Structure 1
Amino acid sequence: MKRSTWLPAATALTFISAFVFNGCKPGTRGVAAEVQAAPFTKHDTDTAQPPVAPAAAVLDTALYDAKLKYMANGDTSGRWPVKTDYPLPGAVLPFKRVLAFYGNLYSTKMGILGELPEKDMLAKLQEEVKNWHAADTSMEVVPALHYIAVTAQGSAGADGKYRLRMPHKEIDKILVMAEKINALVFIDIQVGLSNLQAEVPQLEKYLKMPHVHLGIDPEFSMKTGKKPGSVIGSFDAADINYTTEYLAKLVKENNLPPKMLVVHRFTRPMVTNYKNIKLRPETQIIMDMDGWGAQARKISTYRSFLYPEPVQYTGFKLFYKNDFREKGSRIMTPAEVLKLKPQPVYIQYQ
């Protein structure tokens, strides 16, 4: 395992690219970046919230059925599309494809969201939206900013949880950026030795906003007590069910459209007891193929771990840098990704 070194202590914020899995399984991401920020304080939550918009009054069930069938992309196995109750009105999926830029504002190593200056990043995101719409003009493509709001850490911290909560003022910056291009927002959680029951409620004020959704990362859920990055972690169906139940309660109490939940995955053990995951009209679950590498490896990961274990929707992650790390590898094109069965409804760039 290769570790990087800390930058000079004189800097106001310290970044570290914490772990590189040199012997990782095919399809794994390989890198988790550690961030050290100003401590979370109660005052960071004292920011104005936009008014909550009412959900749409009617769901077009005929269009919903047609879009689901389209997303199955000709699959004849009976797995796809997943049969479930209709979502509440205002659902994003499967009517639109979501295209997200991922990262953290404190680090240039965790993804494109924090790597580029804001203006350049937003312009690049809008250009990718155009590329994906050109590849499939039948689907509207909407931009999103996917921000890591709780980052796994290589050091235990004061409470021994190996995770760091970002100040809410940093999440507020993402909201302002998103507003400039009418983008959705996802806030992502890497729990470390904490758990979702402790971390999700910390973000409730944001999850009450109609355009804010959630992501959870099993890779850094360390149920065995080992340090993040030393082994690949996991979430069970019970963890996912807790999260969707929490989101569903917010949706019902605040008259919100359904909340999307992105669950990152690149190995089978990262998500256990998938058949026990509950689907709810208030939430939409996306199992996101999160591995980096050569095209054949990424496709194999998708077919091996997401396709045979259907939950609801699928996503696919593309890496501007890591997808080039292997000899002869390159980033997949929209047309290549859209050949997958089922078609990913959520696309993420890191």
Structure 2
Amino acid sequence: MKLTKIAGIFLIGIATISTFSYCTSDAKKSNGKTASTDSTKVEEENQRTPVDTAKYNALIKKLANGDTTGKWPVKNQPYPIDGAILPFKRIVVYYGNLHSKKMGALGEYAPKEMWQRLNAEVKKWQKVDPSTPVQVGLHYIAAVASGTPGKDGKYINRMGNKQIDSVLKIAKMHPNTIVFLDLQVALSTIKAELPHIEKYLEMPNVHLGIDPEFSMKDGSLPGKKIGTYDAADVNYVTGYLADIVKKYNLPPKVFVLHRFTKKMVTNSQNIKLRPEVQIVMHMDGWGEPDLKLGTYRHFIYGEPVQFTGFKLFYKNDIKKAPNRMMTPEELMKLKPLPSYIQYQ
């Protein structure tokens, strides 16, 4: 299937492109301590109980939505530790950056109006699937691929702590809101960029997103071609997040991975699942419904990882006939059901 006009490479310029990072090492070590020298910590970790496994099994079967191919639900996945959001809730978020009205609804509207619009979308999901509570969230692009090299020559524009703090403040306007910080790393790497937001990832309500579209491993400028991540990169990130979860006794982190082509995520069958991290493979393509459904079928349904997501674009999805966005009712027919819905 020819994939055109997907996942919007339309933001090259001042602080406007998304990027993604690259890493090849194994998971970050946890302070260099061993079980023999830190038995207390090991005992505390062993006391972390998994979720209600019977309920978990029932809900992931529900997410499979009648799939009979054996792909879904994903086999042999570990049960998450206590406090997991998925599959007990469906996450519904607004995406964007406070410095650009072109990058998504989060940033396009003033906070009060943004919340009115997002709450209207939440009500639609509550109506179409009342048995699944909605977890509201804001998905903020904390590192934006840039059209200019910057001081370090990495073509990345990192948002300062004041900007991220502003998003956390906006999140507090709605009870129990979670926040995703999205890293678009361009010519940098995921290993180099994660430490910039680590203090926020130590918070229980802050989660992570990364975008392979702008992970330019071959040195190409972001926006000129579609980038890529490998399973090894994903495993580095999940190891990094798992270490944070264990160190600070946090609930599992939700980790959103954008995708709309095969090469954006290579060797997905080698992605390692961990009790401390919940991976969402997120369909990030834009266009008419048939195109979006084809992208979901080939690259999300066809290569199972753990949970799935689906992105809806207020502007780009309506550019071609039938000139409309897909509805929650339509998305509830997907196999598997998306656990994460993102509006841009």
TM over 0.5: yes
Structure 2 residue aligned with 1:74: 66
How far apart are residue 59 of structure 1 and its match? 1.6
* 1:214 corresponds to 2:208: yes
Query: Residues 237, 328 of structure 1: CA spacing in aligned structure 2 closer, same or farther, 3 A cutoff?
Result: same
Does the 8 Å CA contact 1:267/1:305 hold for their aligned counterparts?
yes
Structure 1: 4+ residue segments shifted above 6 A: none
**Normalising to structure 2: TM-score of the pair?**
0.88
How far apart are residue 186 of structure 1 and its match? 0.2
Does the 8 Å CA contact 1:222/1:233 hold for their aligned counterparts?
yes
1:24-43 superposed matches below 5 A: 25=4, 27-36=6-15
**Which amino acid in the other structure matches residue 251 of structure 1?**
V
Query: Residues 26, 322 of structure 1: CA spacing in aligned structure 2 closer, same or farther, 3 A cutoff?
Result: closer
Structure-1 separation of matches of 2:97 and 2:5: 25
1:251-330 superposed matches below 5 A: 251-330=245-324
CA RMSD of aligned residues (A): 1.7
Superposed CA deviations along residues 135-167 of structure 1, whole A, max 9, x for unmatched, are 111100111000000000111111110111001
**Which amino acid in the other structure matches residue 151 of structure 2?**
A
Unaligned runs of 5+ in 2: 17-44
How far apart are residue 328 of structure 1 and its match? 2.4
Structure 2 residue aligned with 1:60: 52
* 1:195 corresponds to 2:174: no
How far apart are residue 32 of structure 1 and its match? 2.8
Does the 8 Å CA contact 2:65/2:337 hold for their aligned counterparts?
yes
- Partner SS, residue 268 of structure 1: coil
Aligned length: 312
Structure-1 separation of matches of 2:322 and 2:249: 50
Superposed CA deviations along residues 212-234 of structure 1, whole A, max 9, x for unmatched, are 00000000000110100000001
Structure-1 separation of matches of 2:323 and 2:267: 33
Does the 8 Å CA contact 1:35/1:106 hold for their aligned counterparts?
no
Mean CA deviation greater in 28-37 or 273-282:
28-37
How far apart are residue 58 of structure 1 and its match? 5.7
Structure-2 separation of matches of 1:254 and 1:262: 21
* Equivalent residue for 2:106, pick from 106, 113, 122: 113
Structure 1 residue aligned with 2:25: none
**Which amino acid in the other structure matches residue 195 of structure 2?**
P
Structure 1 residue aligned with 2:80: 87
* 1:143 corresponds to 2:136: yes
Q: Percent identity?
A: 56
**Normalising to structure 1: TM-score of the pair?**
0.86
Name the structure, 1 or 2, with higher relative contact order (CA <8 Å, separation 6+): 2
Structure-1 separation of matches of 2:324 and 2:115: 23
Does the 8 Å CA contact 1:27/1:301 hold for their aligned counterparts?
no
Query: Residues 233, 129 of structure 1: CA spacing in aligned structure 2 closer, same or farther, 3 A cutoff?
Result: same
* Equivalent residue for 1:174, pick from 144, 167, 191: 167
Structure 1 residue aligned with 2:179: 185
Superposed CA deviations along residues 226-275 of structure 1, whole A, max 9, x for unmatched, are 10000000111111111000000000000000001000001010000101
* Equivalent residue for 2:232, pick from 238, 251, 255: 238
Structure-2 separation of matches of 1:169 and 1:234: 30
- Partner SS, residue 288 of structure 1: strand
Structure 1 residue aligned with 2:21: none
Structure-2 separation of matches of 1:271 and 1:29: 17
Does the 8 Å CA contact 2:317/2:324 hold for their aligned counterparts?
yes
Structure 2 residue aligned with 1:50: none
* 1:343 corresponds to 2:337: yes
**Which amino acid in the other structure matches residue 287 of structure 1?**
M
How far apart are residue 112 of structure 1 and its match? 0.3
Superposed CA deviations along residues 3-53 of structure 1, whole A, max 9, x for unmatched, are xxxxxxxxxxxxxxxxxxxx962644342354449xxxxxxxxxxxxxxxx
Query: Residues 322, 284 of structure 1: CA spacing in aligned structure 2 closer, same or farther, 3 A cutoff?
Result: same
Structure 1 residue aligned with 2:42: none
Structure-1 separation of matches of 2:144 and 2:8: 15
Does the 8 Å CA contact 2:187/2:216 hold for their aligned counterparts?
yes
- Partner SS, residue 137 of structure 2: strand
Structure 2 residue aligned with 1:13: none
Structure-1 separation of matches of 2:226 and 2:3: 10
**Which amino acid in the other structure matches residue 258 of structure 1?**
P
Does the 8 Å CA contact 1:56/1:257 hold for their aligned counterparts?
no
Structure-2 separation of matches of 1:123 and 1:56: 38
Structure-2 separation of matches of 1:188 and 1:35: 18
